[in-house]
Amino acid sequence: MKRIGILTSGGDAPGMNAAVRAVTLKALHEGIEVYGINYGYAGLVAGDIFQLDKDTVLDIIQRGGTFLYSARYPEFAQESAQLAGIKQLEKFGIEALVVIGGDGSYHGGLRLTEHGYNAIGLPGTIDNDIPYTDFTIGFDTAVNTALDAIDKIRDTAASHERTFIVEVMGRNAGDIALWAGVAGGAEEIIIPEKKFDIAQVAAHINTDRQAGRKHSVVILAEGVMHAPEFAEELSKFGDFHVRSTVLGHVQRGGAPSARDRVLASKMGAYAVELLMQGKGGLAVGIENNELTYHKMDDLFDSKHKADMSLYDLNSDLSH
């Protein structure tokens, strides 16, 4: 194998650049050339492709976002677009590629593998919602960003004896809420994976107030409902001086944490090793601190599971 390509696709996540850097440096170390593909599959089809060398990736490990840009390009589900992409791979002499993104991006990678161009997927998303990996690239940074905001919100919640509903990202997964909630000492964590009863949340806050604890922070995953709506519902059960905050896209940006940089570096180098072994159609994960891989097909049939022990832990610690 002489030349590989790399693209980032779907939602951006801190640590994607660290993964691109690791793929590039590992491949160069093994005598393989690397081409960056801008704008995910859209750039592949358009031929927006350029050579990556050591200098190009030298200063990107600390940068958030993705310097290869990302794009949604649903047209890539059609075979005509895939064949157009393959023409570009042929033109640039790219024999295999690494795809960083979520499960949509893996679908694209699997199609290319089926056409004879091995693709290895790396899980790049802040949501941590990909099966067969304990952590995705970007999740740790997003949790720390949310935590920083939660700590600040607690200061003002305490000063004014308020109840704050803090909405965090995660799409349909409660992982960011669970991790940021436990780390931030949340009084309640509300996630899509667990049914909640707003009357019970109100009762909990009331009990706390009677015991002299006059402020609360409720961490709400966006997959449940929006914070203002939750605040309105909660206010029907008493005057808790409720305020709501939606953290939003700040959680997607920022310099990647050390954990995300290390995870991205490990996974990037591993992806190159798998390609060198002639493997394709695989998604890399980290399970029990070991690098693993699974068939992309198997991922599509499974569902990510949040660590519900964190939910139980938080209930024990806060009730």
Q: Which residues are annotated as a binding site for ATP?
A: 11, 72-73, 102-105
Q: Find, among 137, 79, 163, the residue nearest to 262 by Cα.
A: 137
Which of 4, 8, 10, 48 is close enough to bind ligand ATP by CB under 6 A? 10
Active site residue 127: yes
Q: Which of residues 103-162 bind ligand ATP (CB under 6 A)?
A: 103-105, 107-108, 111, 125
To the nearest whole angstrom, how small is the minimum distance from the Cβ of residue 93 to ligand ATP?
Answer: 23
Q: Are strands 33-37 and 3-8 parallel, antiparallel or unpaired?
A: parallel
Sheet with 33-37, strands from edge to edge, namely 49-52, 33-37, 3-8, 96-101, 118-123, 282-287, 290-295
In whole angstroms, give the CA distance from residue 265 to residue 257: 12
Please report, in range form, the residues annotated as the binding site for ADP.
154, 185-187
d(CA 101, CA 69): 12
Strands (E), 9-78: 33-37, 49-52
Return the range that interacts with ligand ATP (CB under 6 A); candidates 99-107, 239-247, 271-279, 300-308.
99-107
Q: What is the CA radius of gyration of the chain?
A: 22
Q: Which is nearer to ligand ATP, 71 or 183 (CB)?
A: 71
Q: Please pick, among 48, 127, 129, 260, the residue that the annotation labels catalytic.
A: 127
Could you tell me where the beta strands, DSSP code E, fall in 16-149? Answer: 33-37, 49-52, 96-101, 118-123
Element (H, E) at 149: helix 139-160
- Please state at what angle helix 308-318 crosses helix 175-183, rounded to 10 degrees: 30
* Binding site as annotated, residues: 11, 72-73, 102-105, 125-127, 154, 162, 169-171, 185-187, 222, 243, 249-252
Ranges within 53-82 binding ligand ATP (CB under 6 A): 72-74, 76-77
CB of 27 to ligand ATP, least distance (A): 22
Nearest distance from C-beta of residue 254 to ligand ATP, angstroms:
16
Task: Name which position in 15, 65, 102, 223 contacts ligand ATP (CB under 6 A).
Answer: 102
What are the binding residues for substrate? 125-127, 162, 169-171, 222, 243, 249-252
- Does the footprint of ligand ATP cover residue 175 (CB under 6 A)? no
- Residue 74, judged by CB atoms within 10 A of its CB (0-12, 13-18, 19+), counts as exposed
Q: Which residues bind ligand ATP (CB under 6 A)?
A: 9-11, 40-41, 72-74, 76-77, 101-105, 107-108, 111, 125
As annotated, the active-site residues are 127
